[in-house]
Structure formats: C-alpha cells, structure tokens
Amino acid sequence: VPPRPGAATGTVIVLAQGGHRTMLNDRGANLLLTAGDVDAALAAAPGVRHLHLSAYTLLDDASRGAGLRALAAARERGLTVSVDAASAAPLRRVGGAAFLGWVRGADILFANADEAALLADAPAHVRHVVAKRGGQGAVWDGTIRVPARPAEVVDPTGAGDAFAAGLLAAWLGGAAPAEA
C-alpha cells in the first residue's frame, strides 16, 4: 500500500487495569485505504491463498469500500477468507445484520463473547464461527470445544489476533478444527 504523506499513522492507546481494558484509537492513514489499493496489493501477490480481514476496515464508513473490495476480490480469486469481528462497540453501531451481510460467504468468522452476543440474533452466512473465550478456550461452530492452556495473563492485548494467526496457520496447513 503506498505511503500517505501527511497522514498520521494509526494509533491505539490501551488503558489496562486489573482484568479490564479500554482502547482509544485514531485509525489515521488506515482510513485512507481504497479499493484500488486492495487490487494493487493482490495483483502484487499472485500466490496468495487466503485473506484475513479485520472488521475494523468494514466498521468505518471511510474504509468500508476497501474492505468490501477485499472480500469481493478474494471471492473472485477463489481465496479462503477469514474475518475477525474486531470490536463490540463499532459492531454495535453498524448492526449485526449489516455486518453479517458484508461478510457473507466467509470461511471463518472469529468473534469474542461480546461480539458473538451482538451477532447472535442475525442469520450467519459464514461457513464456520470460532468463538474466542479467553481463559475458557475456544469453540468451533458451537460444537468443538478446546480449553485454553493455563498461563499467567500479563496483558491480553493482541491475544485474539495471536490466536487467529495460530489457528489460521494450522487450518490452512490442513489441520482439523480441534487441532487448529
């Protein structure tokens, strides 16, 4: 993606106290992503097999077109697709039904408990849903439950992203859902 001179880099401030976190963000240059940027990036990576999209791209009016183009381009190229629901507050603003309409056909939708609760009343048109449950592990399609490995939690920031990366690497490598 080309640099955006004069545009601020996206910034997230994380305020953590005990087991609670609050994030304040300024998406900066991330809001300047265009459908043309998506097409150029995909053209430059002819061997790509999978698209993972953070829903932040879809949840903001300014970048939604790029996110929708990424999903459409992935379908056109026959890529597998995963989407992380990203955050309950902006998801609440756009509504679960609208969001699920945008991600229709995705292979995997990742959601934490708050995000899943917002999406529960809308029909899901994705192949698989992976519920991220923190210390209680994860659930694939409501049936395959895998416990979390015990660990001392210092700061959960980025844990969901790291989980998705590990699961996707295993799943794309051929692992069964419980193993992934």
Catalytic residues: 161
**In a 3-state reduction of DSSP, which class is residue 145?**
strand
Alpha helix stretches (DSSP H) within the chain: 35-43, 56-59, 61-77, 88-94, 96-102, 113-119, 159-172
**In a 3-state reduction of DSSP, which class is residue 16?**
strand
Rounded to the nearest angstrom, the gap between the alpha carbon of residue 109 and the centroid of all alpha carbons in its chain is 7
Pairwise CA distance, residues 151 & 58, whole Å: 33
